[in-house]
Structure 1
């Protein structure tokens, strides 16, 4: 059944979560980018100008020099001159992060070309003691359910989320749980190629890689494709460089973590594990608009695992859906069987029962935003 389209989410309402992203979270983010590396004054000026424009000004066009070297095909000329909050939130967020890269000369030939503005934050997390403890836990040889839970709750490690005021330390549990169906999609079918659309680097990417290692090593997948971003995006989003850094972290650890890292290294070398970094993943379109080449890749998958909030928004549409709208119906456009693992840190929520929705609303919490709750959705 096709759902009637709900209104697109924007950031025009000062009481809304999207408004808080632009006005509370982004100033913290801009300050980090401006100060964590010894940047020239021109970078600071461009970052400050972007913050002022995105919080109290109107949308201006992308930098011409940057576009000459790396086009942004999702620029919408009709949005020029509009307040940022009056454009779709998905587009505005994506454009904001693209403009950060322009501000720090990421695409322009010169000394700052290709320097990830979020690398200090990502590398600091990856080197932390918390990662040591998590990798040491691998020595207990966790089974399937534990590996899935680790990948799921690793999605809480979102560095842009940590820049805001909504991060919670409690875990409220699964509010939609298709774990059994997910297991069946993996264990009760003939092995095939499994695709994983990554979300965050560091503490989330590590359990994702460990999950892929398990699928390949146990013969539950004949091949695996890890989809990452072709360049920095949304602070902690994983790039190829972040995958390699995570592999180094694994191979440099003691015990079973090193074994996992060495196997993954071998899987990459023999082609059973492939990294894909399609430009589409750094754009503001939903997966209904998959380009032909990427749609064909997913159509060949026996299963696609989607991680995190942004991929979830792009799967179901960044809209004010009623939380009981069916996940399967909203993702019927996707060309392969699907499993979505996500902790809730934004407004979009679907696939809940009416009973669950009433219970959550009765808590008085902003339960969609705090990262305390999670979902595992599937569509065969």
Structure 2
């Protein structure tokens, strides 16, 4: 296994000047004060994850000690560099936050570097018996093998009975909501529209998404995946739908080159999902077989890029990735992390137009995202007022979602 190559990229010269200036005016989200959402990730989620990883796999004493050291650093210490002997350490050498308290650095960077240090502690990139072992595989495998997934796959049998527009709507919202998607597959043609059954959709640009895909000859769609397991399954079914309905001539599924953020999808995870589909029955099995064939004939491309695990927003993407997105008829960004990287992990006013925050992006782009962090753009003032009037932590609870499109 090779270590990750250089992940940073310079901001492209043709970034829209106004959008760049606006982004610079917005302070980045930092880990911050006790009680903040970002700080709770550092103080609660990351220590709990270290313990969960430790319990899931029988690591030897030296790896256990490395986990202890990482826990001590993030809870009591300062940001330390990767060891010089760590494969790929040079890629992180020029980052500016070493020696600072974890609480004082940008949230996106801190999360990304935590996961990189976790993999280093477990010798994921170091030649030897632990090289290439996914520390999150026990969690992902258990979710994919669960009985709930059997129910979801059997519910696909209802899909062909829906009218075409309801199929479109069902599959898009299923991909959006991930493992909450079972609402969609339980609709029949005579029931109320899916939009009336799914609560919490605060922005819905789905019509613009479908209109863009219908314009001109079918092109290439880039789908930047988020989570593995039950949340990747509806992404794959949506991919099959785009191919079989002629909305896309090909789909490029962007995956993580190595384990990242607990459940982010890698190539191995995508293949496991294809096996889960083909091992089912009925419509799900047919979808799985079509997708396997699509991989074989090049209409479904599984792609990884080192920048997918970079601690930076997409406005710093390198030229080859920029060209990939520029040549797509549409790029679909899935999930919360990709959203933060797309608009910039900054304290945007929530009414900032999505088009303004993504003006730098080299082609049409859509975001399918459930809200699980503070960053959000593109809300109508009346929607923001209503949400802020509630007592629910709507920005972080995962109960609200959005479909945003910038053409």
TM-score, with length taken from structure 1: 0.93
Which residue of structure 2 aligns with residue 167 of structure 1? none
* Shift, 1:188, TM fit: 3.6
Which residue of structure 2 aligns with residue 210 of structure 1? 237
Q: How does 1:141-156 map to 2 (within 5 A)?
A: 141=159, 143-154=167-178
SS in 2 for 1:376: strand
SS in 1 for 2:350: coil
* Shift, 1:156, TM fit: 6.4
More moved, 71-80 vs 125-134: 71-80
CA distance in 1, matches of 2:330, 2:402: 18
Q: Is the 8 A contact 2:174 2:180 kept in 1?
A: no
Which residue of structure 2 aligns with residue 63 of structure 1? 83
Q: Is the 8 A contact 1:155 1:342 kept in 2?
A: no
CA distance in 2, matches of 1:219, 1:182: 14
Which residue of structure 1 aligns with residue 29 of structure 2? 9
CA distance in 1, matches of 2:102, 2:74: 6
CA distance in 2, matches of 1:18, 1:32: 20
* Shift, 1:301, TM fit: 0.3
CA distance in 2, matches of 1:217, 1:348: 35
CA distance in 1, matches of 2:288, 2:92: 37
Which residue of structure 2 aligns with residue 103 of structure 1? 121
The alignment's C-alpha RMSD in Å is: 1.6
Structure 1: runs of 5+ lacking an equivalent: 158-169
CA distance in 2, matches of 1:20, 1:227: 29
Q: Is the 8 A contact 1:74 1:284 kept in 2?
A: no
Q: Does 2:376 match 1:349? A: yes
Q: Is the 8 A contact 1:74 1:283 kept in 2?
A: no
Q: Does 2:60 match 1:33? A: no
TM-score, with length taken from structure 2: 0.87
CA distance in 1, matches of 2:126, 2:26: 39
CA distance in 2, matches of 1:156, 1:257: 18
Q: 2:401 aligns with which of 374, 377, 380?
A: 374
CA distance in 1, matches of 2:43, 2:326: 40
Aligned residues: 366
CA distance in 1, matches of 2:226, 2:52: 21
Which residue of structure 2 aligns with residue 78 of structure 1? 96
* Shift, 1:70, TM fit: 3.0
Q: Is the 8 A contact 1:196 1:306 kept in 2?
A: yes
Residues 179/281 of structure 1: CA separation in 2 closer, same or farther (3 Å cut): same
Q: How does 1:1-380 map to 2 (within 5 A)?
A: 2=19, 3=22, 5-66=25-86, 69-71=87-89, 73-141=91-159, 143-154=167-178, 172-380=199-407
CA distance in 2, matches of 1:75, 1:22: 22
SS in 2 for 1:78: coil
Per-residue CA shift, 1:218-242, capped at 9, x if unaligned? Answer: 2111111000000000000000000
CA distance in 1, matches of 2:90, 2:274: 30
CA distance in 2, matches of 1:21, 1:72: 27
Per-residue CA shift, 1:165-203, capped at 9, x if unaligned? Answer: xxxxx9742001111111212234421001000000011
Which residue of structure 1 aligns with residue 10 of structure 2? none
Structure 1 stretches of at least 4 aligned residues deviating more than 6 Å after TM superposition? none
